[in-house]
Amino acid sequence: MAKKFYVTTPIYYPSGKLHIGNTYTTVIADCIKRYKKLRGYDVFFLTGTDEHGEKIEVKAKEAGKTPIEFVDEIVDNTKKLWKRLGIEYDDFIRTTEERHEKTAQSIFSKFLAQEDIYKGAYTGNYCRSCEAYWTDTQVGEEHTCPDCGKPTEIKEEEAYFFKMNKYAPWLINYYKEHPNFIYPEARTNEMLNNFLIPGLNDLCVSRSTIKWGIPVKEDPKHVIYVWIDALTNYISALGYGSNDDSKFQKFWADEDCEVLHLMSKEIVRFHTIYWPIMLKQLGLRLPTQIYSHGWVLMKSGKMSKSVGNVVYPEYIIDKYGVDALRYYLVKVIPFGQDGTFTPEMFVEHVNTDLVNNIGNLLSRSVAMCAKYFGGEVPAINTTSLNNIDKSFMEKVNVLLNKFESNMDQIKLTEGISTIFEIGDIANKYIDEKEPWVLAKDEARKGELENCIHNLIETLRKIAILFKAFFIEIPNKMFEQLGVTEENQSYESVKEDRVTSNKVEKKEALFARLDFEKEVAYLDEKISGK
Ligand code: MSP
C-alpha cells in the first residue's frame, strides 16, 4: 500500500490581501505534496482560512460589511490566487463552514464533559492584535505584547479555561521522547524554557465580548477562543467526528500516515503546546512534525502596509510567470531560515538560474541535436564513451541521489539547488566536449552522439525533478525534448531512457530580464506608486 502523507499550511486570516509571506508557506506545502506524489505517496494537502475573531469583526465594520460578506470576498480572491500559483490543495477549510463549526463545538463539549475545561473569571493583559492574554511578566513594565510589541490593555470577562497546566509534565516528556517533533530542534528549548518549565497558565478558551465566533453550545453567550477554533481545522477538514470520517481514519488516525504542520515561528507556540494537549485529551495521535520555517523579509525588515514595502504575488506572476515566483520562494529564500526579497536579487537570480543555467542548456542542446542529427536523439555509442562522458554521467547520478536525500528530509532549498548543480555540470560538459569540434570530424561521430544523448537525457531528468517545484517549466521542457509521457515518471530518472525521440526547438524557456528596467518596475510596484 502506498505510504501516506498529510501536509497543512496555517489557515490564514482573511483580513486583507495575502502577500508573498502567506504565499510562501502555501508554495512550500505544494512543493512537498508534488514531491511526495512523485515518490508514489498518497498525499492530502489542506489549507484554508481562519475567519473568526475580533480582528475580523473590526475590519468588516470598518469596511461597512457584515463579517461574512467581508471574508467571503477575501476567500474568493485567496482561492483565485492559489489557482494562479498552481496550488494543488485537496481541501480548503473555512472556519465558518458548518462542517468545521460542528466539530469545533463538539470538541469543546467533550473537554467540558471530561472537566478539562472549567468556568472561571479572567482579568488579564490582552493584546487585541494577537487576540491573546499575557501574564504580567510577559508584558513587563511597558505593558506591551511580547509577540507583536503593541500595547496591551486590561480586560476582564467571565470565561472558560482549559487546564493546560495539568498536562505540562506530559508534554515535556513527549518532547523528550520525540526529539524531531519540533523543527528546528532549537524551538523545543524555547518552548520548554519560556513556557513549560516556568509553568503553563490555564488557557482562557472562550470570549463573551465577541460575537463573531463559534458559540459554546452549552453557554451560547460565549464564543470559542479563536485559536481553539482554528487549531481544530486540521481534523475537522478530515471529517473527524462526522458521519463520514474516512479521510480522518486514513490521514490522521492511522499512525503510519506522516502528518506535517507547516508555519512560521510566531505561531509555533500554539501548535506545539496547546494543540498537542488538546489532541491528547481527545485521545488522538499527535502530528509527526511541527515545522517552523523562517520569514520572508524585505531589506527594510518585516513587510508592512504602513512602511509601504509589501510584495504581492499577482504582479510578479503577471510579468514573470508563476514559476519565476515559485523559484524565488523555494530556491532563494533558504527553507528553514529567514530570507529576503529584493527586486535586485529577484532579477539576478532569475537570470542566473532560469535563463543562463537551464534556459541556455536547453536551447543549446536542442539546437545541436537538430543541427547534427536532424532532431533525432542518438543512442549511446558505448565504444566511443570516454572519461569525460563517464565522469559526467557519474556526477549526475551522485546529484540525483543527493536530490532525493535532501527532498526526503524536506530540505527543499538544497533539493532544488541540486537540480541547478546538475545544470551547471551539464553546461561545463558541453564546454569540455566541444561538440562543434567533434561535428567537424566524421571519425568522432560516436563521441558526438554520446555528448548529445547525454545532454538530452540529463535535461529530461532535470525536467522530471522540476515537477516537484514548477507548474509550466517541466512541460515546456518535455515538449522541446520530445519526451513522451511514459518517460516523465520519477522512477525513470534512474534509467537511461530516451533514444530516437524528436526534439523541437521552441521559444526560450525564460527571456533574459533587463536588470535596470525590471528592478525599477518592481520597486515601483512594491512601493504601490
Ligand atoms: N490564523 C492564524 C493561523 C491559525 S493555524 C491553526 C494565522 N494566520 S496568518 O494569516 O497570520 O498567517 C500566518 C502564517 O502565514 C505564518 O505562520 C506563515 O506560515 C505565513 N506567513 C505570513 N507572513 C510571512 C512571512 N513574511 N514570511 C513567511 N511566512 C509568513 O497566524
Q: What is the pLDDT of residue 123?
A: 85
Predicted confidence band of residue 528 (pLDDT cuts 50, 70, 90): confident
Lowest mean pLDDT across 30-44, 195-209, 348-362: 195-209
Residue 375 has pLDDT above 80, yes or no: yes
Which ligand 1 atom is at minimum distance from the Cα of 15?
Answer: 10
Q: Is the pLDDT of residue 137 over 90?
A: no
What's phi and psi for 309, nearest 5 deg?
-130, 30
Strands (E), 56-202: 91-94, 117-127, 132-134, 153-162, 182-183
Which ligand 1 atom sits closest to the C-alpha of 275?
6
Any idea which architecture 4-293 has in CATH? 3-Layer(aba) Sandwich (3.40)
Centre of ligand 1 from the C-alpha of residue 141, in Å? 28
Quote the ligand 1 centre to 170 CA distance (angstroms). Answer: 28
230 Cβ inside 6 Å of ligand 1: yes
Ligand 1 centre distance from Cα of residue 260 (Å): 16
Locate 406 and state its grid cell: 535532501
pLDDT grade for 162, boundaries at 50, 70 and 90: very high
- Does residue 404 contact residue 422 with C-beta atoms inside 8 Å? no
Task: Tell me the backbone φ, ψ of residue 215, rounded to 5 degrees.
Answer: -65, 145
- 529 confidence band (pLDDT: 50, 70, 90): low
Provide mean pLDDT across the span 492-505.
89
pLDDT at 131: 75
Amino acid at 19: H
The mean pLDDT value for 1-8 works out to: 95
Alpha carbon distance 368, 499 (integer Å):
15
How far is the centre of ligand 1, averaged over its atoms, from the C-alpha of 9 (Å)? 8
User: What grid cell was written down for 294?
Assistant: 523562517
- pLDDT band, residue 513 (cuts 50/70/90): very high
Name the pLDDT band for 122 (thresholds 50, 70, 90).
Answer: confident
Q: Identity (one letter) of the amino acid at 409? A: Q
Going from the Cα of 264 to the center of ligand 1, the distance in angstroms, rounded, reads 6
pLDDT tens digit string along 226-246? 999 999 999 999 999 999 999
d(CA 463, CA 498): 13
Q: Ligand 1 pocket, 31 CB below 6 A?
A: no
Task: Enumerate residues 6+ apart whose C-beta is below 8 A from 11.
Answer: 47, 48, 49, 50, 93, 95, 230, 233
Q: Do domains 4-293 and 314-494 have the same CATH topology?
A: no
Give residue 428's identity as a one-letter amino acid code.
K
Q: Is the bond leading into 184 cis (omega within 30 degrees of zero)?
A: yes
> pLDDT, tens digit, for every residue of 240-292?
999 999 999 999 999 999 999 999 999 999 999 999 999 999 999 999 999 99
Q: Is the pLDDT of residue 514 over 90?
A: yes
Q: How much is the CA Rg of the chain, to the nearest whole Å? A: 27
CA–CA separation, 70 vs 92, rounded Å? Answer: 18
367 CA → ligand 1 middle, Å: 45
What spacing in Å lies between the alpha carbon of 442 and ligand 1's midpoint? 62
The sign of the dihedral angle between the CA atoms of 410, 234, 51, 76 is: positive
CATH 3.40.50.300 at 314-494, yes or no: no
Tell me the backbone φ, ψ of residue 113, rounded to 5 degrees. Answer: -60, -35
What pLDDT does 135 receive? 83
Please enumerate in sequence order all residues whose Cβ is within 8 A of that of 97, keeping only pairs 6 or more positions apart, or say none: none
Residue nearest to atom 23 of ligand 1 (CA): 21
50 lines ligand 1 (CB under 6 A): yes
Q: Per-domain residue ranges for the chain?
A: 4-293, 314-494
* Farthest CA pair distance, the chain: 91
SS3 378: coil
Residue with CA closest to ligand 1 atom 6: 231
Q: Flag the least confident range among 134-143, 304-313, 365-374, 456-465.
A: 304-313
The tens digit of pLDDT for each residue in 316-370 reads 999 999 999 999 999 999 999 999 999 999 999 999 999 999 999 999 999 999 9
The yes-or-no verdict on residue 500 having pLDDT over 80 is no
The confidence score (pLDDT) of residue 498 equals: 82
pLDDT-derived band at 139, boundaries 50, 70, 90: very high
Strands of 429-493 (E only): list them. none
Pocket test for ligand 1, best of 131, 264, 273 (most atoms within 8 A of CB): 264
- CA–CA distance, 39 with 358 (Å, rounded to integer): 24
